[in-house]
Amino acid sequence: MSTHLNIALAGNPNAGKTTLFNHLTGAHQHVGNYPGVTVEKKVGICQHGDHEIHVVDLPGTYSLTAYSVEELVARDFLVNEKPDVVVDIVDASNLERNLYLTTQFMELGIPLVIALNMMDVAESRGISIDTERLAGLLGVPVVPIIARSGEGVDRLLDTVVQEAAVGRRPDPILLRYGSDLDEAIAAMVPIIEEHHLLTDTYPSRWIALKILENDEQIIDKASQVNPGVSERLLAISEEVTNHLMHTLDAYPEAVIADHRYGFIKSILHQGVITIRFVGDRLYTSDRIDRIVTHRLLGPLIMAAVLFGLYTFTFNYSGTLVDGLATLFATMGDMVDRSLPDGPLKSMIISGAIDGVGGVLGFVPIIMFMFFGIAVLEDSGYLARVAFMMDRIFHFFGLHGSSVMPFIISGGIAGGCAVPGVMATRTLRSPKERMATMLTVPFMNCGAKLPVLTLIIGAFFSTHQARYMFLATLASWVIALLAAKILRLTVLRGESTPFVMELPPYRFPTIRGLVIHTWERTWQYIKKAGTVILGISILLWAMMTYPGLPRDQLAGFAAERAQLLAASPPQVVAAMKKGSDDPAALRLAAAIRKIDARQAMAGLRNSAAGRIGVALESVSHFAGFDWRTNIALVGGFAAKEVIISTLGTAYSLGDVTTDKTTSLRQRLAADPHWNPVVALSVLTFIMFYAPCFVTIVCIAREAGSWKWAFFSMGFNTLFAFTLSVAIYQIGMLLGLGG
Amino acid sequence: MTKKHPDVRFHCQKGGRCCLRKVPCPDDAMPLSKACCRGRVRICRIRGDRKTCARMAHLGLLPGSELELICPGRGNKCMVRVNGGTISLDRPVAEGILVTPA
């Protein structure tokens, strides 16, 4: 008996696949009941008796056609990897739809065990299922389970092990699809078998069926392998398609689907299913939907829910955020005390601790927000938000499902474009997906928020909340307008129809919520530990090296020596002791001025400083000075860096204020800054090139660097144009005073 | 395992591009978008491009199938219950589905 098994979990979206996967493997991975959320292949291991079972969680699909990436992924895995057993998770409360996929597994002839999930929900709806009879009629083992509680899972695994021990691959089921199609299949199968067209991978009848269904992947493969034979098969397919169109006004796939449903109905009507309640009884979910998606009440409830999420995230994460900030400050102090002055200490404090601490400081906010989103997602509400938002999004050339990536990227309050870009996988149309992917970086992510807070606090502190709200609103307006522009130009094309299954409302499980939240938070922490750490150190080096030339250093040293020599010795001694004698304080301030000028000259001479100065020739049109330029260039590496870089650049350059002055006060007092510059910088930061990690992510998701570079160029140009307009008009109107 | 499918009669109608029809569309058939909030209806015809029709067919939205309408959008968007699942459709899709009261 084998001790090592490979199984795959397959089924409709929302049938409970991921819940079962979590139960089996305890894996840390993303779970949800938003349709189509599990796009990646997830693998885990579970031990059952002597058997080590490798479990693969396949994407949820309704069928095995080539219409979507998920369906292709699932189909290719089943055909190429040939798992020992495929566990087909079937929602017992929605049997007819779920068995549709089952019939397609049977057409493909794969070893199957049906896990009849949510038996409790079916019971509560008055549906009783005779599992023995269902198993008998289908010829496939059926095990009733409740994945949420784990009931029946052991029996399921026993059955899986038994089936794997038998080790047979069942013959594909032969369904009838009406005389016209049956005749066509009968004509095609001998041709396929004679020429061994793809028959080493797929059953011959299935190939014929797919060609009739106009399956692009199979038709392409067949044409590549044997163009001549494919032509003949396509000719048969075309003939029968024309005939069906002429006689039935129907494409073959509709006829085939109808016959599959007919087959399922004929099985269910043989005493498999008994419904105790009257047919048109409304389920609780539908009752909730009547209120929650009501034309007037719906948007109000949605606004309240989103506002609740905002409040929850920011009110409850505050203490943790402060705690983390204190922790990193203490770490910095410890390093400051224990290491001697020099480049290493400077690198650890300014490069590593400040950079990574700045990012990790957001972890509580990110965690609380992802928890809130996980609740909305797992309860089924987010799918309703997509449903309600579809009309607006449709107008801008996007899809209702685009709402989720926008929210994750910071559409409500903080977020991150990296998971946002990844979340676009739920979109089926490539052009809508691309438009969403290119516009989600316009949202105010968690890294931009503190920059916005800083600048708004410094220049518009009287209306801080209003400006923050306006910034959020502006990000949505600009993102949607940019999407519209993209969809009218480079991404022109038809909108996909919005046909989406709405999962029933469910109480989220604590386990699911914890896994979701942790999974996304961990992604963020990993980014801080790797990419941001590297970038922070690199930026630190760029802002430190090359140092000042010897003669300039000597010049500053001479200035200091001259100042000390000119002062009475007792004042110098008092200053060194740190006395608060007015003369000593004046001397200390004068020395600090020289230090600051030296640091400023050093920064200007550094690699980053030279870039900043070089960019000033262009950036002055938008009112940015060279120090802002350094921060903005740094922000391309990661937006979190903007604040720390501004902090370093302005603390170095500051000659008048003492050490305890905050960056906010320094900016407010700086002669280069005024409300118009602030607004111009603010606009640029909100809309310019996405950070480096997002760019990499876009390249990976879009499958080409072309779009990644496009996003960099398009966004920066767009943001710069806006900033120049704001600065020039603002200055003309004399608002810069 | 071979299973003879119960007899289905197909009717010939001209016009339209898609899909299977088991029942001819009577004169009082109306688009789903107009029929919203009218309880149970039966699909008599679906119009649309080949891919959309195929996708709807896989979800069980076929001529002949019965739907329960849950339509908070009142004509803008539709929510329908078919085969125990709730499916949302946007206006263009709902306009392409002709229904009669069941």
A239, A319: one domain: no
Pairing of strands A127-129, A273-275: antiparallel
How many other C-beta atoms are found inside a 10 Å radius of the C-beta of residue A607?
16
A447, A535: one domain: yes
Report if residue A60 sits inside a domain.
Answer: yes
The distance between the two most distant Cα atoms of chain B, rounded to a whole number of Å, is: 46
Q: Do B79 and A387 touch (CB under 8 A)?
A: yes
Q: Do A254 and B12 touch (CB under 8 A)?
A: no
Helices A533-544, A626-637: axis angle to 10 degrees equals 150
Distance, in Å, from the CA atom of A33 to the CA atom of A2, rounded to the nearest integer, reads: 35
Mean pLDDT of chain A, nearest integer? 85
Q: Do B39 and A280 touch (CB under 8 A)?
A: yes
Residue A362, classified by CB atoms within 10 Å of its CB into exposed (0-12), middle (13-18) or buried (19+), is buried
Q: What is the structure's pLDDT at A33?
A: 33
Q: Where are the domains of chain B?
A: 30-101
Residue A368 structure tokens: 């609380």
For residue A548, list its beta bridge partners.
Answer: none
Instruction: Kindly report the nearest CA distance between residue B28 and chain A, in angstroms.
Output: 20
A359, A413: one domain: yes
A101, A239: one domain: no
Instruction: Kindly report the nearest CA distance between residue B97 and chain A, in angstroms.
Output: 12
Distance, in Å, from the CA atom of A376 to the CA atom of A355, rounded to the nearest integer, reads: 32
Q: Which of A717, A692, A413 is nearest to A539 (CA)?
A: A692
Burial A102-138 (b: 16+ CB within 10 A, else e): bbbbbbbbbbbbbbbbbbebbeebebebebebbbebb
Instruction: Kindly report the nearest CA distance between residue B91 and chain A, in angstroms.
Output: 9
Shortest CA distance from A92: residue in chain B: B84
> pLDDT tens across A129-176, in order?
999 999 999 999 999 999 888 899 999 999 999 999 888 788 888 888
Report if residue A454 sits inside a domain.
Answer: yes
Q: Do A280 and B76 touch (CB under 8 A)?
A: no
Assign domain B30-101 to a CATH class: mainly beta
Given a contact cutoff of 8 angstroms between Cβ atoms, the answer to whether A665 and A657 are in contact is: yes
Strand order in the sheet with B78-82: A499-502, B85-89, B78-82, B66-69, B40-46, B97-101, B30-31
Q: Which of A251, A275, A299 is the last residue of a domain?
A: A275
Q: Which of B10, B60, B90 is nearest to A94 (CA)?
A: B60
Residue of B47, B61, B86 to mutate when probing chain A, most A C-beta within 10 A: B86
Burial B61-100 (b: 16+ CB within 10 A, else e): bbbbbbbbbbbbbebebbbbbbbbbbbbbbbebbbbbbbb
Set of chain A residues whose Cβ sits within 8 Å of the Cβ of B66: none
Pairing of strands B97-101, A174-175: unpaired
Given a contact cutoff of 8 angstroms between Cβ atoms, the answer to whether B98 and B46 are in contact is: yes
A288, A192: one domain: no
Q: Which of A56, A172, A156, A159 is nearest to A104 (CA)?
A: A172
Domain of residue A520 covers 284-545+663-737
Q: Which of A389, A378, A394 is nearest to A411 (CA)?
A: A389
Of A176, A246, A502, the CB nearest to B86: A502
Set of chain A residues whose Cβ sits within 8 Å of the Cβ of B40: 280
Distance, in Å, from the CA atom of A267 to the CA atom of A270, rounded to the nearest integer, reads: 5
A268, A391: one domain: no
Angle at alpha carbon of residue A48, lines to A378 and A122, rounded to 5°: 40
Q: Which of A680, A687, A691 is nearest to A727 (CA)?
A: A680
Q: Do B54 and A251 touch (CB under 8 A)?
A: yes
Of A96, A177, A387, the CB nearest to B77: A387
Quote the DSSP letter at residue A41.
-
Distance, in Å, from the CA atom of A616 to the CA atom of A507, rounded to the nearest integer, reads: 55
Q: Do B88 and A499 touch (CB under 8 A)?
A: yes
Instruction: Kindly report the nearest CA distance between residue B29 and chain A, in angstroms.
Output: 17
Q: What is the structure's pLDDT at A413?
A: 63
For residue A43, list its beta bridge partners.
Answer: A56
* Residue A293: C-alpha distances to residues A300, A304, A410, A442, B45 (Å): 10, 13, 23, 28, 27
Instruction: Kindly report the nearest CA distance between residue A104 and chain B, in angstroms.
Output: 11
Distance, in Å, from the CA atom of A211 to the CA atom of B2, rounded to the nearest integer, reads: 21
Question: SS3 sequence, A166-221?
Answer: HCCCCCCCEECCCHHHHHHHHHHHHHHHHCCCCCCCCCHHHHHHHHHCCCHHHHHH
* Cis amide leading into B19 (omega within 30): yes
Domain count, chain A: 3
A20, A112: one domain: yes
A251, A299: one domain: no
Report if residue A197 sits inside a domain.
Answer: yes
Q: Which of A166, A201, A220 is the last residue of a domain?
A: A166
Set of chain A residues whose Cβ sits within 8 Å of the Cβ of B14: 249
Q: What is the dihedral of CA B42, B47, B52, B54, to 10 degrees?
A: 60
Distance, in Å, from the CA atom of A101 to the CA atom of A14, rounded to the nearest integer, reads: 13
- Helix then strand count (H, E) for chain B reads 3, 7
Backbone CA torsion sign across A35, A37, A42, A48: negative
Of B3, B62, B93, the CB nearest to A257: B62
Shortest CA distance from B20: residue in chain A: A250
Report if residue A696 sits inside a domain.
Answer: yes
Q: Give the pLDDT means over successive 10-residue stretches in chain B (102 positions).
A: 36 35 68 76 84 86 84 68 82 84 79
Interface confidence (ipTM) of the complex: 0.78
Q: Which of A134, A166, A198 is the last residue of a domain?
A: A166
Shortest CA distance from B46: residue in chain A: A250
**In chain A, which residues have pLDDT < 50?**
28, 30-38, 280, 655-660
Of A213, A255, A266, the CB nearest to B6: A266
Instruction: Kindly report the nearest CA distance between residue A319 and chain B, in angstroms.
Output: 41
Residue of B14, B32, B90, B93 to mutate when probing chain A, most A C-beta within 10 A: B90
Q: What is the dihedral of CA A454, A460, A462, A463, to 10 degrees?
A: -90
Backbone region of residue A275 per phi and psi (left: phi > 0; alpha: psi in -120 to 50; beta: other values): beta
Residue A558 structure tokens: 């001479």
Residue A694, classified by CB atoms within 10 Å of its CB into exposed (0-12), middle (13-18) or buried (19+), is buried
Q: Do B12 and A173 touch (CB under 8 A)?
A: no
C-alpha distance across the termini of chain A, in Å: 84
Residue A379 structure tokens: 């309860």
Q: Residue A286 CA to chain centroid, in angstroms?
A: 29
CB pairs under 8 A between A and B: 180
Backbone region of residue A539 per phi and psi (left: phi > 0; alpha: psi in -120 to 50; beta: other values): alpha
Distance, in Å, from the CA atom of A430 to the CA atom of A452, rounded to the nearest integer, reads: 33
Q: Do A280 and B64 touch (CB under 8 A)?
A: no
Q: What is the structure's pLDDT at A389?
A: 84
A76, A193: one domain: no
Residue A608 structure tokens: 């980053």
Set of chain A residues whose Cβ sits within 8 Å of the Cβ of B54: 65, 67, 213-214, 251, 253-254, 257
Q: Report phi then psi at A26, rounded to 5.
A: 60, 25
Q: Do B79 and A139 touch (CB under 8 A)?
A: no
Q: Do A94 and B11 touch (CB under 8 A)?
A: no
Of A65, A250, A499, the CB nearest to B93: A499
Instruction: Kindly report the nearest CA distance between residue B30 and chain A, in angstroms.
Output: 18
Report if residue A311 sits inside a domain.
Answer: yes
Q: Do A175 and B3 touch (CB under 8 A)?
A: yes
* Cis amide leading into B31 (omega within 30): no
Residue of B11, B17, B20 to mutate when probing chain A, most A C-beta within 10 A: B20
Distance, in Å, from the CA atom of A373 to the CA atom of A471, rounded to the nearest integer, reads: 21
DSSP string, A104-164: HHHHHT--EEEEEE-HHHHHHTTEEE-HHHHHHHHTS-EEE-BTTTTBTHHHHHHHHHHHH
> pLDDT tens across B31-47, in order?
888 876 667 888 888 88
CATH number of the domain where residue A208 is located: 1.10.287.1770
Q: Report phi then psi at A145, rounded to 5.
A: -140, 165
Q: Do B13 and A249 touch (CB under 8 A)?
A: yes
A120, A220: one domain: no
Set of chain B residues whose Cβ sits within 8 Å of the Cβ of A262: 5-6, 8
Distance, in Å, from the CA atom of A416 to the CA atom of A440, rounded to the nearest integer, reads: 9
Report if residue A555 sits inside a domain.
Answer: no
Instruction: Kindly report the nearest CA distance between residue A129 and chain B, in angstroms.
Output: 14
A152, A199: one domain: no
Distance, in Å, from the CA atom of A17 to the CA atom of B59, rounded to the nearest integer, reads: 19
Report if residue A152 sits inside a domain.
Answer: yes
DSSP string, A526-571: HHIIIIIHHHHHHHHHHHH-S---HHHHHHHHHHHHHHHHHS-HHH
Q: Which residue has the tokens 């008092």?
A: A574
Q: What is the structure's pLDDT at A737?
A: 63
Set of chain B residues whose Cβ sits within 8 Å of the Cβ of A504: 86
Distance, in Å, from the CA atom of A82 to the CA atom of A8, rounded to the nearest integer, reads: 9
How many other C-beta atoms are found inside a 10 Å radius of the C-beta of residue A613?
16
What is residue A36's three-state secondary structure?
coil
Q: Report phi then psi at A635, rounded to 5.
A: -65, -25
Set of chain B residues whose Cβ sits within 8 Å of the Cβ of A395: none
Q: Do B12 and A250 touch (CB under 8 A)?
A: no
Residue A390 structure tokens: 């579809």
A57, A195: one domain: no
CATH number of the domain where residue A149 is located: 3.40.50.300
Q: Report phi then psi at B39, rounded to 5.
A: 75, -130
Report if residue A658 sits inside a domain.
Answer: no
